[in-house]
Structure 1
Amino acid sequence: MTRARGKNTGPPGQLPSLPRRPARLALAVIEALTDQIVSGQFPAGSQLPPEPTLCEIFGVSRITVREAVKSLEEKGLVLARQGSGTTVTEQDGWTLLDPIVLAAVVRHDSQLTLLDQLVDVRARLEAPMAAQAARNASATDIAEIAALLALLDSQVEEQGSFLETDVAFHDRIMRASANRLSRSIVRTVHAEARKSYRYSGAPTSTECRVTNDEHRAVFECIRNRDEAGAEQSMAQHILSAWERRRPTHRSD
């Protein structure tokens, strides 16, 4: 069998080839198969190629293939049964908080369905955390959030830096809330979403100023211990910011 180089450009169901010596062979196989499944090239109910074929396609050992299939099963992507092969599962069973699965789903989210849901999850988790921050924030918390807000003001003409500091601003508020579980969930889903241009966009300096006005409203509520105001301001900010940058709402 001839192995093509580079990205897969063949017909649906054709697996991409991999370099012979990736840093972590099993991880490379897992990521490639996850992408094939999420993209629909292996739809629910279909079977992955048998083990010997996968070994040949990827140029890896049976042990590596077995490790990869086991990982896919743990992620809810497939069901492996001895004598019955490895069957792709329905989407409802996929573990979306797994970074590899989430990254693939975001990458193939052509209708922005998952990104819309992700923003909704962020609003539902971060808004209560803003209220908790208004209740729990120490003087140090408030001072550090204020410093990040000031830094954002200085970066409205530097969109790349602004986006990075924006993440730090939100994370500092979540940290002040002391809600470790919600913060961990938001950080997981947000980290993968931010890798997509369709999610992060390219805000103009005017949009950065609008965003920071919304940040300031959240901060003032936290500083004034206004829990209800902080929750409402954060929810409105997250949803409004997404509406501004959502690709289908832009002129281009």
Structure 2
Amino acid sequence: MIQPLSYIHPEAKIAQNVVIEPFSTIHKDVVIGEGSWIGSNVTIMNGARIGKNCRIFPGAVISGEPQDLKFEGEVTTAEIGDNTTIRECVTINRGTKDRFKTVIGKNCLIQAYSHIAHDCFIGDNCIFSNSSTLAGHITVGDYVVLAGMVAVHQFCKIGSHAFVTGGTLVRKDVPPYIKAAREPISYAGINSVGLRRRGYSNEQINEIQNIYRVLFVQHSNLGKALDIVEAEFEATELRDEILGFVRASNRGVVKGFGQGRSGI
């Protein structure tokens, strides 16, 4: 199923039932898993590790060298999990000596013209809409949705199940389970629709909403709000995940809308 007009380096490791369409180029240090489809005019460079049943559409460039002046040619990888779809003209850079790899999880959809820079770690089941752009060293949790033309600053973190609206500039960390929007980026409620789709109960959704009401609506001092949540809410996995994320933030988290706060 490899077209004669494509170029496959003889040392690339390609599973038997992979389809590679004409005019694609596969470099030497590449691994592609079973059932994957590589469209026309795709370039897969050294360090690519592509899982099973992936689909990569025309014009994509996978595992290109980092756009980082500190990169010194170290051996690094770009890893794509099983069942992930990479649409047209997406660019994914491999890692640097910071993390030595860029990782995209399983069951993700990366839509056209998106860019994922070096040393990004992306969780499972994420959707990045058209022209989403991630700078280097970003960490994204599971089930995150970025709407079109979202731009994320280097070293930011986005928690699991978060939703970021289109055209948003992400300069601060986005805690899990929330919607983030506006300029500057702000808390815009919890991602209740996404949580219901993924099987969260009404009790869990209410718990998340009540925690964020304390953090982002009722109090302008985030440090004080964190102490209130810890003291007044029962210890649960959800509560501890939210508190841990916010307290561990190095860049500070998004502000509560109208509070005039840009971080911790």
TM-score (norm 2): 0.29
TM-score (norm 1): 0.30
Structure exhibiting the larger radius of gyration computed from Cα positions: 1
Higher helix share: 1
